[in-house]
Amino acid sequence: MKIKILIPVFNDWQSVFKLLENINSEVSNLDHEFSVIIVNDASTETKPELTVNLEKLNSIKIINMKENRGHARCNATGLKHIFHNEEFDYVIPMDGDGEDRPEEITQLLDNLNYHTDIPIVGERVKRSEAIFFKFCYFFHKIITYTFTGQSIKYGNFTCLPKSIVEKMINEKATWSSFSGSLAKITKDRAAIPSERGTRYFGPSKMSFKNLLIHSLSIVSVFKINVLIRSILFLLVYIFLVYQKLTLIMFIPIFLILILIFSVFTVSKRENLSELNNSLSNILNIHIVK
């Protein structure tokens, strides 16, 4: 099988090169053809030379972007490039900082013996971040499930068959949210337990603002569900409290209205036209190996 590993990067070359070394080591005994596509999101740091011998990786290409577009859009552009320009059977998107663990690639591929035509996702069973981030993530999962009916416990770290890649590059939500788009286009998914690893170098670059946008981007994929469930909640809530309505009881109503407004605002990030034209943002493609 021909496996493409897709890695977005922005100013984190040291981590990406260590990741390549670890991937090479982990897949050394697997009888597949592995290639790596790195999407460089207009990094401002100078890229060092890759000096180690990565004999198990058939090829390594760096797609250099003209303008910074963000992590989700690098994944979308990478999927589109791979589908139209590469020979492949499966794509494995990974974060470039070590938080998606290379040692779990074998588990993903082992599941292909039973699930050849559906995506295999790495469901988070353990996280390594600080307590505040874990709390925010837990709260995000509750909000997502409550208002969308979707239980999304995975991120980018997945194994996607070619048929799913084709669906994703034709779905506007992919331009905004990888996991939200995948949940939208297919209900049939297999899963492996996945532990969130620790960053190889430096602190996390995920700010609270970016975390909030990331969460809302997932929820906004199902904005109609959010609207319907919010209306039902408001109707039931008002019916239960209208006879003893006080000022403080308006707080839940206010919060729901903020949620609806935020979700519909963030949903404007979804854009099939920009996804279709994403390859025009490629400056050049550097063949490392």
Please tell me the predicted confidence (pLDDT) of residue 249. Answer: 83
Structural domains in the chain, CATH included, are 2-130+152-204+271-287 (3.90.550.10), 223-264 (no CATH)
Please write the tens of the pLDDT for every residue from 230-264: 999 999 998 888 877 787 888 999 999 999 999 99
pLDDT at 206: 64
Residues 4/90, Cβ–Cβ less than 8 Å:
yes
Find, among 273, 133, 129, 122, the residue nearest to 215 by Cα.
133
- Looking at every residue in the chain, the average pLDDT score rounds to 92
pLDDT > 90? residue 196: no
Q: CA–CA separation, 224 vs 218, rounded Å? A: 13
Q: What does the alpha-carbon distance between residue 178 and residue 41 come to, in Å, rounded to a whole number?
A: 16
Helix and strand numbers, DSSP H then E, in the chain: 10, 8
Is residue 233 within 8 Å of 159, Cβ to Cβ? no
Q: Is the pLDDT of residue 273 over 90?
A: yes
The answer to whether the pTM exceeds 0.95 is: no
Task: Report pLDDT for 272.
Answer: 97
Measured between alpha carbons, how far is residue 211 from residues 38, 161, 214, 215, 255 in Å?
23, 28, 5, 6, 19
Give, as one character, the DSSP assignment of residue 119: -
pLDDT tens profile 142-183 = 888 999 999 898 999 999 999 999 999 999 999 999 999 999
Q: Please report the pLDDT score of residue 261 as a whole number.
A: 96
Q: Which residues pair with 159 in a beta bridge?
A: 120
SS3 category, 128: coil
Does residue 103 contact residue 197 with C-beta atoms inside 8 Å? Answer: no
- Taking alpha carbons only, the member of 148, 126, 149 closest to residue 138 is 126
List CB contacts of 118: < 8 A, sequence separation 6 or more.
161, 164, 186, 188, 189, 190
